[in-house]
């Protein structure tokens, strides 16, 4: 478990950030486009400060990046963060493949022992 601790945390952050409909919508809008926070505000019936709070939550989770251009802050979805959910599963797969391999090795040792004791074959 220790080896994929960080990936699990990333998944938790992802869950939390995605728990809100507005934040999910912001993520989708910022996937291909790079709108500014003020342009995003026009899309929602809420204040600039409220939208900025959602963007900040997404930024804390590492799901979006903000880039200052002139007087504006452009928001862009970080695909790598979205990919972390995949990575968490990839690591789980790696951990279990390793375990299955070690199980096989243990079972193979039974056979080796049997063979060498019953047939006396040197290995």
Partner 1 sequence: MSVTSVDKDFDHLNLTLVADFGAPLERVWQLWADPRQLERWWGPPSHPATVEQHDLTPGGDVTYFMTDPEGEQYRGWWRVTSVNPPRSLEFTDGFADQDGTPLADMPITTTRIELSEHDGGTRMRLRSVFDSREQMDQLMSMGAAEGLQQAVGQMDALLAD
Interface region with partner 1, contact rule CB under 8 A, candidates 41-49, 52-60, 68-76, 87-95:
87-95
- Among residues 62, 56, 64, the alpha carbon closest in space to that of 87 is found at 62
Q: Is the distance from CB of 41 to CB of 48 less than 8 angstroms?
A: yes
Interaction pattern, residues 16-55, with partner 1; x per rule: CB under 8 A: x-xxxx--x--xx--x------------------------
Our CB check for partner 1 shows the closer of 43 and 89 to be 89
Q: Is the distance from CB of 57 to CB of 27 less than 8 angstroms?
A: no
Query: Which ranges in the chain belong to alpha helices (H)?
Result: 5-18, 21-32, 37-41, 48-60, 79-118
CA triple 78-18-80, angle to 5 deg: 20
Among 67, 99, 112, 114, binds partner 1 (CB under 8 A): 99
- Among residues 57, 76, 60, the alpha carbon closest in space to that of 68 is found at 76
Our CB check for partner 1 shows the closer of 27 and 40 to be 27
Interaction pattern, residues 4-23, with partner 1; x per rule: CB under 8 A: -x--xx-xx--xx-xxxx--
Interface region with partner 1, contact rule CB under 8 A, candidates 38-46, 66-74, 82-90, 115-123:
82-90
């Amino acid at each position: 478990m220790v080896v994929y601790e960080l990936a699990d945390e990333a998944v938790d952050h992802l869950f939390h950030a995605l728990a809100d409909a507005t934040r999910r919508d912001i993520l989708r809008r910022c996937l291909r486009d790079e709108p500014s926070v003020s342009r995003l505000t026009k899309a929602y019936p809420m204040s600039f400060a409220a939208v900025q709070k959602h963007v900040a939550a997404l930024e804390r989770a590492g799901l979006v990046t903000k880039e200052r251009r002139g007087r504006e802050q452009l928001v862009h979805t970080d695909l790598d963060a979205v990919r972390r959910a995949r990575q968490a599963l990839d690591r789980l797969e790696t951990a279990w493949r390793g375990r299955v391999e070690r199980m096989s090795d243990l079972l193979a040792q039974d056979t080796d022992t049997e063979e060498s004791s019953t047939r006396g074959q040197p290995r």
